[in-house]
Amino acid sequence: MKVLANDGVSQSGIDTLTAAGFEVITTKVAQEQLVKYINENSISVLLVRSATTARAALIDACPTLKVIGRGGVGMDNIDVAYAREKGVDVINTPAASSSSVAELVFAHLFGGVRYLHDANRNMPLDGDTKFKGLKKNYAKGSELRGKTIGIIGFGRIGREVAKIALGCGMRVIASDNYVGEADITLDFYDGQKVTLKIKTEPIDQLIQHSDFITLHVPAQKQYVIGRNEIAKMKDGAAIINAARGGVIDEVALIEALDTGKLSFAGLDTFEKEPTPAVKVLMNHKVSLSPHIGAATNEAQDRIGTELASQIIELFKKK
């Protein structure tokens, strides 16, 4: 049985599948050539991340396809319901990358409150001639400790964000349409544990109370944070989006940054991926990363082995 990992897969995943008798192909096939390649090579399993899509037309055109796997959480690049209706199993790895995404949120937060994203742009340009001026510009940072972080979407990733926030001494509030309250357990290196209960509240309340807001929701048809929501936020608040492009109105976001309503934003995902708006990329109050939330070695190893284990179990039943 052949597995096409079209967006790549970790060596640990390849080794696990190979040991179970699967042939793993890591050739990158262009989207427009994918149907032809799958059919010519009798591919049974298609593994994707965010670059490759698996829509109804592809599913209909590829009768050898038995499983579609998404290395990550969101599956908006796959027609999941249609695939399952056609007898194609669809799997993903919702827990494997949670810690990596949560840590990236705090990379943006720590950088934002100390202006590191802007300092890293300007120090190479003016650090040797305007050192004192730059020092003055960036000397009014703030601490995260004692501040309130509002987490919109309190699933696996949102809860990992809460753990780090609590460790930093932050107040944590959360909002989720499906979660009323959740136990957050902090596991320490020596085996000790502390469990705290976090109750959720409506988004409308959360945005008014938060110093920092981070989103962890799937792709939406409408903005979660638009002009009206931003207007209700604290003056000087900040927003982090490491979820999906399109959950924040980027036009309203840039306006709020330019007027000083918001202090900074951290964006790992964008409305117009993979060609983000120039106004977003050039704004000095935006900390930027190119959709790398799950892109750590540890997360990719977990994703690969988790996908492999699910595939092996599925084919045992077939």
| Catalytic residue flag (residue 40) | no
**What is the rounded end-to-end Cα distance, in angstroms, of the chain?**
12
Report whether 66 contacts 89 (CB < 8 A): yes
Active site residue 291: yes
- The values of phi and psi at residue 230, to 5°, are -60, -40
The region, left, alpha or beta by phi > 0 then psi within -120 to 50, assigned to residue 115 is: left
Q: Which residues of 192-208 are buried (b: 16+ CB within 10 A; e: fewer)?
A: eeeeeebebeebeebbe
229's tokens: 């929501």
| The pair of three-digit structure tokens given for residue 1, joined into one six-digit string | 């049985």
Whole-angstrom distance, CA of residue 103 vs CA of residue 253 = 23
Closest CA to 97 of 305, 309, 310, 269: 305
- 23-25/43-48 β-pairing: unpaired
Strands 67-70 vs 89-92: parallel, antiparallel or unpaired = parallel
Choosing from 108, 244, 271, 302, the catalytic residue is: 244
Give Cα separations from 267 to 153, 229, 236, 313 (angstroms): 16, 18, 17, 37
- Residues 243-262 as b or e (16 or more Cβ within 10 Å = b): bbbbbbbbebbbebbeeebb
- CA distances 9 to 23, 74, 115, 248, Å, are 13, 17, 35, 30
Active site residue 302: no
Q: Kindly name the residue from 103, 201, 255, 273 that is annotated as catalytic.
A: 273
Q: Which of 293, 10, 301 is nearest to 160 (CA)?
A: 293
Catalytic residue (one of 49, 159, 216, 291): 291
Catalytic residues: 244, 273, 291
